[in-house]
Amino acid sequence: MKKIFKLILNTIPRPILIRLSIVVRPLLAFMLKGSRFTDPIDGKSFSMFLPYGYGNQRNNVLSPSTLSLERHRLLWLYLQNETDFFTSTTKKKVLHFAPEQEFYKRFKKQSNIDYTTTDLLSPLADVKADICNLPFEDNTYDIIFCNHVLEHIPDDTKAMQELYRVLKPGGMGIFQIPQELDRATTFADDSITDQKERAKIFGQYDHVRIYGRDYFDKLRSIGFKVVEEDYTAKLSPELVEKYCLAKGEIIPVCFK
pLDDT of residue 134: 98
Q: Identity (one letter) of the amino acid at 170? A: G
Mean pLDDT per 10-residue interval, the chain, length 256 residues: 51 53 64 87 92 74 90 98 97 96 94 97 91 98 98 97 98 97 92 81 85 98 98 97 96 98
pLDDT of residue 98: 95
pLDDT of residue 241: 97
pLDDT of residue 124: 86
Q: DSSP class of residue 210?
A: B
The pTM (predicted TM-score) of the whole model is: 0.87
pLDDT of residue 121: 85
pLDDT of residue 29: 63
Residue 54's SS3 state is coil
Count H helices and E strands in the chain, helices first.
8, 11
State the Cα–Cα distance between residues 43 and 115, nearest whole angstrom: 24
